[in-house]
Structure 1
């Protein structure tokens, strides 16, 4: 780097650590950062075997926007971290104000508190330099705080070019890729989830990391000073619903979703019904049972794909019908392919019908099963303000012992927009 402008805020963050006692911490940190939209440069993901000494040089040559040094007791034994990476990262931090540096400190005092003097000591620095750098603990709370710190730095660095009447925050999301530094795009945020061991369902641990990241996303939109959000890429449909709920219409007046085929799905600002209608009720049932004292539950199946597919939803009703006070099966009034230009209206009507069914049954919990374009799923999610729903994912995988289970919908997570705990309130999906 020869000039301050060479520190590009959309470049990845380098993670420096000692393998012997820092590997697990670095792994958790990397997935936390990726879930929040920050690409990570890390040796095990981005270098072939045998290139340990060259990992920082390669990262700097390709561009990094900052670094996190994971300080553990064994760092004192690491020549690479002490003599190569830490000195170079500190020079970048001193020379370029745009370069973000954070410390995750796993060294504690006898009372359990962070030993703030440890980084300078274990890195054998001639002069104390890291005492004044923001240090966080290596537990879950500390890693989340480090993620938040790096995200706010990234947003602040790109705010000027985004803010304005037409400004938009670009968020790329993928849940099926194997994340590495070369998977990033030129978006403002590149959200990537931990790969799943399941062939159809997302990673349960990745969803938990996403849930924490979604707590930060609404404030990221506010800090960016934008009037619109653009979502790009593709994801499991349950994740698409949750991400949409994470950026409700109260935070960004306009949202555009560009899917993997380049189709643009643009939102409206509120859930509403249309004339002529975009959806029709294909099947429905209302229970005549006496209202229960506990919270009521309803189910909505929004099926927007052709040809029609009912088997998995029928299995869901057979297994859960006794707990539902009502359910509806909705489909498009169109007999052909959906028009992306009408996607916002389609999503707005779907959200309105879901809300009406819930409100007409004592603000019932909603089991929301969606089958259709990724873009519409995101747009439905952002219009679910005040609703609590369980998002589902389709699978036909056999049981672990080989037993045939057939096509079905698995509960993934509890979603609720505009809550301090984040849109993905609870992960229901069990680890594969």
Structure 2
């Protein structure tokens, strides 16, 4: 009679414990106790207890019997009297891919000789999908024990991944962020906001995966046109099946395509070195070790602020590398879309080379202080990336607060970007280069405020109000001047004359003239710091910033309500010529931000 095959059925909880602990303890072996019950010839393993060993090495595990008995007793204490779950065997890991050794077999025979029930052994070799080896030992007559190999049945939660479809990598697609929510959410949000502020479109489950959707939606996101991915490695990522079983395998497949860029954001510290990351941790925690799949890739240290900027720079330059051949082949503009109000989504991805999304404030008219801080960090990188693209002209569209428009123009100064164009909502182009068909219907005049403090000879600051709209409201600017404790060496109001509406063809001449007037005013007072309040079209704000490339400028935003009346609030400081410019400081309080 043929006897049925012996089987060890490993349930999900036991599987996760063995696989996770084996990976965590690499390069050493680790092991412990198997708990479960017997079912005919099968051993069902429901739980696996870990028993640490001070004597463990890379090729040997010696169980601490005292600790093992204590942990077994503690486990059984909480079980009901009729609970069938009890001790059914042992497990340990083999970092090298090998099955049970002769020492393991001898130990199993000894354990079975002292047991009335079959005793199972599981040997797990970590790395990749991992592999289990199973033995079952039984006591026979005269206390002799026999040992046989057993089939190991493992739990299956996910269907196998199919091949990547055509179009899974797309140069203008979003950047996918993979992370463990329990300890990676804060880092994911920080990177998401930085990447959006730099001009990259981001796919993240928080906003782009509808509630209640299954892993099918996640699979669609990973296979329908990504340009890059960021894998955030935190200590608890080891417990994320979604990251390990779905997101990571797809990201590694996508990374084989040179048009895809995979960045690893490592937030696992080395032992006794809290600011240095453990470059072996990603493979170990995600159960790829002993292979060095991720260790041999570039990793950014998320334990220091420079790590985030390193990822933003790498992904920006990757996008430029993908877009530059098309820009040169078509001799087209480098296109940037900007927005500082609506919330962003991955579906915002479009044909623009960069799409800057500045984090919005929760209420009020002012821009978000946090959004400005993010832009301050990323704008130098965006400026460098645009310059590296080598386009003959840069075209900006969308809309944002006027202070952001001035900062954006300052990031693309005339000394680096010769020709800048801004599209308005009607699609008309406002060019930095004066137009040959300029109708010259709009000019400007300079005047002093009718009220306010007398000029101060004790300061090197000048105040300028540019208003390009009919019937300007000067009250807010006059309050700014009057309320300044330091005062100003000079105060001027530059107002549009000649027409009620500026023609887009006048933009180059007008912006050059306005910027030139401000430069001369600053020079008259020893390169004085300029305090600039601007009220006019967004395209002109960008173009004036483009030409104010030698000045230190404090930029204001208009605000007001029924209680306090109209006023200008200091928003940011621009200094394009400085090393960390053009945004040197953010002056708005953080109370205008979204709650964390």
TM score, norm. by length of structure 1: 0.92
- Cα displacement (A) at 1:263: 2.4
Does 2:563 match 1:410? no
- Cα displacement (A) at 1:277: 7.7
Q: Using the alignment, how far apart are the partners of 1:37 and 1:132 within structure 2? A: 28
- Cα displacement (A) at 1:226: 1.3
Aligned twin of 1:199: 364
Aligned twin of 1:217: 382
Does 2:299 match 1:135? yes
Aligned twin of 1:401: none
Q: Using the alignment, how far apart are the partners of 1:350 and 1:52 within structure 2? A: 56
Q: Using the alignment, how far apart are the partners of 2:419 and 2:284 within structure 1? A: 50
SS at match of 1:64: coil
SS at match of 2:307: helix
- Cα displacement (A) at 1:394: 0.7
Q: Using the alignment, how far apart are the partners of 1:276 and 1:87 within structure 2? A: 62
Does 2:534 match 1:373? no
Q: Using the alignment, how far apart are the partners of 1:377 and 1:232 within structure 2? A: 13
Q: Deviations over 1:369-424 (max 9, x none)?
A: 000000000000010111010111111147xxxxx211111000000113220211
SS at match of 1:421: coil
Aligned twin of 1:79: 241
Q: Deviations over 1:158-185 (max 9, x none)?
A: 1111137944211110001111112333
Q: Among 506, 509, 519, which residue is 1:342 paired with?
A: 506
Does 2:394 match 1:229? yes
Q: Retained in 1: the 8 A contact 2:168–2:222?
A: no
Q: Among 92, 106, 109, which residue is 2:270 paired with?
A: 109
Q: Using the alignment, how far apart are the partners of 1:412 and 1:309 within structure 2? A: 19
Does 2:334 match 1:169? yes
Q: Deviations over 1:26-47 (max 9, x none)?
A: 0000001001001000001111
Q: Using the alignment, how far apart are the partners of 1:172 and 1:135 within structure 2? A: 30
Q: Using the alignment, how far apart are the partners of 1:72 and 1:417 within structure 2? A: 37
- CA distance 1:164–1:364, change in 2 (3 Å): farther
Q: Among 34, 42, 48, which residue is 2:210 paired with?
A: 48
Aligned twin of 1:315: 479
Q: Retained in 2: the 8 A contact 1:67–1:100?
A: yes
- Cα displacement (A) at 1:51: 2.7
Aligned twin of 1:97: 258
- Cα displacement (A) at 1:346: 1.0
Q: Using the alignment, how far apart are the partners of 1:128 and 1:302 within structure 2? A: 59
Aligned twin of 1:27: 189
Aligned twin of 1:60: 222
Q: Using the alignment, how far apart are the partners of 1:372 and 1:302 within structure 2? A: 8
TM score, norm. by length of structure 2: 0.67
Greater Cα offset, 20-29 or 61-70: 61-70
Q: Among 386, 408, 420, which residue is 1:243 paired with?
A: 408
Aligned-residue RMSD, C-alpha? 2.3
SS at match of 1:253: coil
Q: Retained in 1: the 8 A contact 2:172–2:349?
A: no
SS at match of 2:542: helix
Q: Which runs of 5+ in 1 are unaligned?
A: 399-403
Aligned residues: 420
Q: Which runs of 5+ in 2 are unaligned?
A: 1-163, 592-596
Aligned twin of 1:18: 180
- CA distance 1:18–1:312, change in 2 (3 Å): same
Aligned twin of 1:305: 469
Q: Using the alignment, how far apart are the partners of 2:387 and 2:499 within structure 1? A: 40
Q: Among 320, 323, 335, which residue is 1:155 paired with?
A: 320
The structure whose RCO (Cα within 8 Å, separation 6+) is larger is: 1
- CA distance 1:164–1:228, change in 2 (3 Å): farther
Q: Retained in 1: the 8 A contact 2:168–2:223?
A: no
SS at match of 1:163: helix
Aligned twin of 2:417: 252
- CA distance 1:234–1:429, change in 2 (3 Å): same
SS at match of 1:382: helix
- Cα displacement (A) at 1:20: 0.3
- Cα displacement (A) at 1:290: 7.0
SS at match of 2:300: strand
- Cα displacement (A) at 1:320: 2.0
Does 2:549 match 1:394? no
- CA distance 1:2–1:409, change in 2 (3 Å): same
SS at match of 2:525: coil
Q: Using the alignment, how far apart are the partners of 1:287 and 1:312 within structure 2? A: 14
Greater Cα offset, 404-413 or 371-380: 404-413
SS at match of 2:269: coil
Aligned twin of 1:428: 587
SS at match of 2:548: coil
Q: Retained in 2: the 8 A contact 1:287–1:326?
A: no
SS at match of 2:448: strand
Q: Deviations over 1:176-212 (max 9, x none)?
A: 1111112333200000011212320111111111011
Greater Cα offset, 203-212 or 182-191: 182-191
Alignment of 1:254-273 (within 5 A): 254-268=419-433
Q: Retained in 2: the 8 A contact 1:171–1:231?
A: yes
